[in-house]
Structure 1
Amino acid sequence: MRASAFLYPWDVIGDPDAPARIADLGVRQVTLASAYHSTRALTPLHPRHRVVTAAYAAVLYPPDPGRWDRHPLRPYPAGDWAPGDAYGEAAEALADAGLDVHSWVVLAHSSRLGAEHPDTSVVNAYGDRYPWAPCIARPDVQAYLVELAAEAAVRPGARGTELESCGWYGMAHLHAHDKTGGVALGDAAQYLMSLCFCDTCRAGYAGDGLDPDELGAAVRRALEPVWASGGSAGAGWPAVGKLLGAGLADATLAWRTRAARTLQEACVAAVRAAAPPGFRVLLHADPAPYRTGANAGVDPAHILSVADGVVLPCTGGGAESVLPPFAGYARGDTVLAANFTVVSGMGGSPATLAADARRARTLGATDLRLYHAGLASAPDLAAVKEALRALR
């Protein structure tokens, strides 16, 4: 199984030992962020800093002004956490250590975009905007994301890309100092709270024969028992249908699925048009089409007919539910990458990585992704190195 470690450019820049340390783990590839959302990251092994604060979603290279002249929405260059061509500098150092470098592009997740262009954001059934979640059904947002995918993915020397958040984002998000845990929202409630009612989505519902005002009222009524009981309302698509009614639930998903597929197909096509031959395009994905977030909900058969493969969240036993739905549609060259968190303090289990990877392989995984080599402690990285040795 080919293994790749996730990294940020700031994990490498200023640390001359970082490329060799990553290569010494036994990985052959690095998935390096080229466009990333705001974050606060601990860098436990870096010789010059311990905490990096990325204040807003940004590209980690100089964007091409000519490419963006015709777009009302544009990416933001990074601040002092990744100045200049931080991606390019880090990528060159990693390649010099013998590592293949693939770009890592976060798309529909940007709080600054929503703050400066409020009309681009998802609007829930109560009229609340989610500034971190661009509505992917909007033509201006789609055009921006497709252009961003092509530019951020096809960086000099990159041999492939992974597109994260290439689909709907929604309610679930660690936004600033998050205070949203007072009512535990289950899978079904998360979906209803993630439905968008911006003017574009309202028109989309109407085009499918739904009255958007009545649909919004139905969503609010469906959520009342959740607020009254203190949370949950169940998991899985049947639970959504139980809350909202199967007919309405299916109608909302049909609209959202069309929007997501349009975006995903356009992003992959734009990347391929800009990339050299052999460039691999993967999506971070979830096999349940109604799910939102970094691992966009997709139909496995459809997405594997579009992209070269997927990266799937497998930490904590997740492999059992996410790998089999894709395995049946995999071709001989399809990449099914099992993504395991290897940072103990973030819920990972590097000590069981070898066993977890073997189990993932029996379920159809072809590759491993290790999240995240720059965030991991020395003991965690030592455990990863031992696990990868055991897998060889």
Structure 2
Amino acid sequence: MKASAFVYPWDVVGDPEAAARIAGLGVQQVTLAAAYHSTRALTPRHPRHRVVTAEHAAVLYPADETRWAGREPRPYPSGDWAPGDAYGEAAAALSDAGLDVHTWVVLAHNSRLGAEHPATSVVNAYGDRYPWAPCVAQPAVVRYLVDLAAEAAVRPGARGTELESCGWYGLAHLHAHDKIAGVGLGEAAQYLMSLCFCASCRAGYADLDTDPDRLAAAVRSALEPVWAGDATPGGASGRAGIEKLIGAELAAVTLDRRGQVARDLQEQAVAAVRAAAPPGFQVLLHADPAAHHTGANAGVDPAHILAVADGVVLPCTGGAAETMLTPFAAHATPSTVLAANFTVVSGMGGSPGTLAEDAARAAALGADELRLYHAGLASDADLESVKAALSSLR
């Protein structure tokens, strides 16, 4: 199975041994961040630093001024964590080490955008804004994300891209000093807390003959037992759980509308990337087969997305391979890419010691590629386990 490791530019720039070390793991490809959200990342082997703080979402290359001049919103340049063309410098080193380089582009996840342009954010049923979550139903947001996808994906020398957060983002967010775990939220409650009631979404509900005030009131009423401590009122998850909370009619309105909005964004983003890319450029989406799920792995309709993109990258850590892969394998063609993504950082819940077994299981379920998260964050011991696993798979 072809394997690719996720990498940040700051893992490579300034470390003359990084590219060879990553190639030495036995991967054939790297998925290198070109546009990324704010983060605090460990760099355990870098000769000049140990912690990199990316203070806000940014592009990690010089943005094209002819594209963005006079526009708002527009991409933010990175600070000293990835100065200049950090992406390009890292990509060149990795390519020289014999690795194929694909871009890693984060779209609908941008806290600075929400802070500086609050009207772009998801607004929940209580009127609270989620500044990290741009509302993908807003035309201006979609135009920004589609243009960002095209520019950040098609960097010089890149042979493909992976689009993360290409869909709805919601409540769940690894936020600074996050303190929302005091009340457990089941899957259906997470969905209700991720519904958007910004002006664009309220208009969208009204277009479907649904009063947005009535819908918001139904959401707040349904969540009352949750705040009292019942994480799964009604005792169901998925669509059935949502229907139990707000009724089949309102559940259908939200699921159908949000699904169509996400599909529109995904189609436009993929089309824009392909229009800007050379022939043979591969376009994958980080995805989840449950269309109502939000976040980095956006919920999609498997049949639809495999008809739009070249394939998907699916989170398979912790025994999730069957749940993730099976719905997509049912719609795969011989050219479809189904990449099983495994966390290989022990400290982040990964299990690099079982990677060979996990990869074999994923292959039996239809996966034809591996993604390894994350070559820059992992310890030396974790990387040795990865190297051994990939050697055994050859």
Of 289, 292, 298, 2:291 maps to 289
Q: Which amino acid aligns with 1:80?
A: D
Deviation of 1:48 (Å): 1.1
Matched, 1:167 2:167: yes
Matches within 5 A, 1:195-206: 195-206=195-206
Residue in 2 that maps onto 1:354: 356
Matches within 5 A, 1:172-251: 172-233=172-233, 234-251=236-253
CA contact (8 A) 2:138 2:200 kept: yes
Q: Aligned partners of 1:198, 1:189: CA distance in 2, in Å?
A: 19
Percent sequence identity over aligned pairs: 75
Deviation of 1:230 (Å): 4.9
CA contact (8 A) 2:184 2:229 kept: no
Q: Aligned partners of 2:229, 2:79: CA distance in 1, in Å?
A: 44
Residue in 1 that maps onto 2:314: 312
Q: Aligned partners of 2:287, 2:239: CA distance in 1, in Å?
A: 17
Q: Aligned partners of 1:230, 1:250: CA distance in 2, in Å?
A: 24
Q: Aligned partners of 1:344, 1:230: CA distance in 2, in Å?
A: 32
Residue in 2 that maps onto 1:338: 340
Deviation of 1:244 (Å): 1.0
Deviation of 1:247 (Å): 1.4
1:161-215 CA distance string (max 9 Å, x none): 0000000000000111101011011111100000000000000000011000000
CA contact (8 A) 2:2 2:368 kept: yes
Residue in 2 that maps onto 1:42: 42
Unpaired stretches in structure 1, ≥5 consecutive residues: none
Q: Which amino acid aligns with 1:310?
A: V
CA contact (8 A) 1:340 1:371 kept: yes
Count of residue pairs the alignment pairs up: 392
CA contact (8 A) 1:312 1:322 kept: yes
Q: Aligned partners of 1:98, 1:28: CA distance in 2, in Å?
A: 8
Deviation of 1:328 (Å): 1.0
Residue in 1 that maps onto 2:383: 381
Q: Aligned partners of 1:389, 1:237: CA distance in 2, in Å?
A: 42
1:37-67 CA distance string (max 9 Å, x none): 0000011111111000000000000001110
Q: Aligned partners of 2:186, 2:213: CA distance in 1, in Å?
A: 24
Matches within 5 A, 1:1-392: 1-69=1-69, 71-233=71-233, 234-392=236-394
Deviation of 1:311 (Å): 0.1
CA contact (8 A) 2:171 2:193 kept: yes
Structure 1 range deviating more: 77-86 or 62-71: 62-71
* TM-score, scaled to structure 1: 0.99
* Counterpart secondary structure, 2:387: helix
* Counterpart secondary structure, 1:197: coil
* Counterpart secondary structure, 1:316: coil
CA contact (8 A) 2:338 2:368 kept: yes
Q: Aligned partners of 2:312, 2:71: CA distance in 1, in Å?
A: 29
1:319-357 CA distance string (max 9 Å, x none): 010100000111111100000000000000000000000
* Counterpart secondary structure, 1:231: coil
Deviation of 1:71 (Å): 2.8
Q: Aligned partners of 2:108, 2:156: CA distance in 1, in Å?
A: 23
* Counterpart secondary structure, 1:141: helix
Q: Aligned partners of 1:350, 1:264: CA distance in 2, in Å?
A: 32
Deviation of 1:372 (Å): 0.2
* TM-score, scaled to structure 2: 0.99
CA contact (8 A) 1:71 1:144 kept: no
Q: Aligned partners of 1:299, 1:362: CA distance in 2, in Å?
A: 22
Deviation of 1:70 (Å): 5.3
Instruction: Please report the RMSD computed on the Cα atoms of aligned residues, expressed in angstroms.
Output: 0.7
Q: Which amino acid aligns with 2:326?
A: P
Q: Aligned partners of 1:231, 1:123: CA distance in 2, in Å?
A: 22
1:91-112 CA distance string (max 9 Å, x none): 0000000000000000000000
Deviation of 1:232 (Å): 3.9
Q: Aligned partners of 1:179, 1:160: CA distance in 2, in Å?
A: 37
